[in-house]
Amino acid sequence: MILVEPLTATELAKLIGAEAKGNADRLVTGLNEINRVTEGDLVYVDHPKWYDKALNSAATTILIDKAVEPPTGKAIIISPDPCRDYNALVKRFMPRAGWSGEGIEVGAGTEVHPSAVIGPHVRIGKDCIIHPNVVIYERATIGDRVIIHANAVIGADPFYYKKRPSGYDKMQPCGNVVIEDDVEIGALSTIDRGVSADTRIGRGTKMDNHVQVGHDTLIGPNCLFAAHVAIAGACVIEEGVTLWGQVGIPSKLRVGKGAVILGQSGILSSVEGGKTYLGSPAREAKQMMREIALRAKLPEIAKKLGI
C-alpha cells in the first residue's frame, strides 16, 4: 500500500504509541507485509525466524517486537505487538470503503449484468462482459476485453491470520486485484486481493470454472488453468504455464515459464519452466510414468520373492 502523504518513522510511531530509533526522520512511503516489501516501505515482524529477513529486506522502516540495532540508514519502531499495530496503521490509512458504489468506472462497450455487484473505486475497461452474480470488491482493476463468468468473486479478503492463544486475528487487507487485458475467468472462480499489494492476472490468461487464486499471487501472461486448480498465496506463475484439473500449488512457490503440470498433481517446491510434471509430490512426467509402470509390476515381483 502506498501512502498518499508519506510520514516519517517518528510520526508513524507516535500514531501507535511506540518508539522509533535509527534513521527515524526518513520518510515512509508505503506499508507492506514481507512477501511484497519494496524500498521506502514499513514492514512488520514479530517472530525470531523472520527477524533477519525483515531487517535485511528492502524496507526502510521495520516494526518489530524486540530492541535491535537498526540497520544502516534504516529505522526501527519497537512495539509489543507489531501485527496489531500494523493492522491499526492499515485501518487508519485505508479504511474499508463498504459498498457505496462511489468512483466506479466502466469502459465503452462493456456489458455488466444487473445482478453483478461492483464495489467502490473499481475500474473496468472496454468491451468486457461481466456475467450474472459476479462480485467485484473495492478498488479492483479490470482491463479491456475481459470476460468474467457467473458467480465469480474478484477481490475477496486474503486467507491470512495471526494465531494467538485466544484464536485467530484477521490481517487487515489493503491490497488489490489487477486483471490485465483479454483474460477470461470461469464461473465460480475466486481471486483474492493482496494483503498489501496486488494479486495480478497477466494478459491473455484463461481460467476454467472453480479456480482459486490466493492473495499476492502473480500470474504471467497467456497461462491456461483447468477446473479446480488451487493456487495459494504469494506464488509466482510465469508466462505460458498450463495447470490441468485439480492441480495444487502451495504458497510462495514459483512455476517456471512454459511448465505443464498434469491433472491432480501437487508440487512441494518450485519447478523449472519448459517441463511437464505429474504426481503428488510432482516430478517430471516421464520419470513418474516409469515409476507407475514399475509399481504395477510389484505384485509379480513379490510373488517371485515369496513375499
Asked if residues 105 and 124 have their Cβ atoms less than 8 Å apart, the reply is: yes
Task: Note the pLDDT tens digit of each residue in 197-236.
Answer: 999 999 999 999 999 999 999 999 999 999 999 999 999 9
Task: Note the pLDDT tens digit of each residue in 252-299.
Answer: 999 999 999 999 999 999 999 999 999 999 999 988 888 888 888 888
- Would you state the pLDDT for residue 303? 84
Instruction: Taking residues 32-55, report their average pLDDT.
Output: 92
Instruction: Taking residues 95-110, report their average pLDDT.
Output: 94
Beta 19-22 vs 75-78: how paired, if at all?
A: antiparallel
Average pLDDT across the chain, whole number: 95
| 3-class state of residue 132 by DSSP | coil
What domains can be seen in the chain, in order of their start residue? Answer: 2-93 (3.40.1390.10), 105-290 (2.160.10.10)
- Among the listed residues 131, 149, 210, 215, the single catalytic one is 215
- Would you state the pLDDT for residue 275? 97
Q: Evaluate the CA torsion angle 7, 10, 11, 15 in order and state its sign.
A: positive
For residue 148, name the pLDDT band (cuts at 50, 70, 90).
very high
113 is catalytic: no
Question: Does the pLDDT at position 33 exceed 90?
Answer: no
- Would you state the pLDDT for residue 294? 86
Instruction: Taking residues 3-27, report their average pLDDT.
Output: 95
- Would you state the pLDDT for residue 93? 95
- Would you state the pLDDT for residue 84? 95
φ and ψ of 152, to 5 deg? -70, 150
| 3-class state of residue 241 by DSSP | coil
The C-alpha cell at 117 is: 455487484
